[in-house]
Amino acid sequence: MLKACLNGGRARGVRPAVPVTPAELAADAVRCAALGVTAVHIHPRDASGAESLLPEAIATALDAVRAARPGLPVGVSTGAWIEPDPAARVSAVRAWQVLPDFASVNAHEPGAEAVATALHERGVLVEVGLWTLDAVTAYRAWRVPVGRLLVECMAEEVPVALADAARILAALPTATSLPVLLHAEGPATWAVLAEAVSRGLHTRIGLEDTLLLPDGSPAPTNAALVAAALAAGAR
């Protein structure tokens, strides 16, 4: 899998091409799917432009992407920075009227297992975000099924990010048959993407993770990042 992470929490002022509205997310999803990505990850916004887990924001964004590119799997984040209260995150998931195909849950965040349980009960594939070794330990105690492991390297220094990736991957349950997606954010994005390619793992790319192409020049669009990732061997 090569997943396109279209916007994250970035504001449009960071880069004019960052998609924020449902129509912009849909247009970018179409462009990236045409290049070969097999899923997209989006952060829907409310009327003020803030990230939101509220049913209307989720539904409007998902409906727009699905209308523009039927059949393309679409996922969202349930990050605690969007809604800090774990109980409110669970309530939001249970109130969704339109469901994503998958949703990420960061294992280190308070209430993560409860959020994952709410998603699983609604038939949404759970991606568990693993940022640290402690997060792997927390995840291993979960009683809820997950569908994909996200090894997420947040260190800016490339050697540190690669070392973190190696440690987290080595700490995963040896008996797991779950797909693993490896990626980074910021300066280490392209080095970790290359590591994912070399290990035969899933990965992702998009303006959520980096604003730069591999040569260090500004990435004009998500599609340009996807094209560069494909050229680097991501599939």
- Number of structural domains (the chain) is 1
Q: What is the mean pLDDT of residues 22-26?
A: 98
Is 19:221 a contact under the CB 8 Å cutoff? Answer: no
Tell me the C-alpha distance between 125 and 116, whole Å.
Answer: 9
Helix or strand or coil: residue 139? helix
pLDDT of residue 174: 81
Tokens of 154: 């947040």
Helix or strand or coil: residue 57? helix
Tens-place pLDDT, residues 84-131: 999 999 999 999 999 999 999 999 999 999 999 999 999 999 999 999
Residue 12: band (very low, low, confident or very high) from pLDDT cuts 50, 70, 90: confident
CATH number, domain of 41, equals: 3.20.20.70
pLDDT of residue 15: 82
Percentages helix, strand, coil for the chain (3-state, rounded to 5) are 40, 20, 40
Q: For residue 185, what are the domain limits?
A: 2-231
pTM of the full structure:
0.96
Q: What is the DSSP letter of 104?
A: E
pLDDT of residue 11: 86
pLDDT of residue 197: 98
Tens-place pLDDT, residues 61-70: 999 999 999 9
Q: How many CB atoms lie within 10 A of CB 172?
A: 16
Residue-averaged pLDDT of the chain: 97
pLDDT at residue 210 is higher than 90: yes
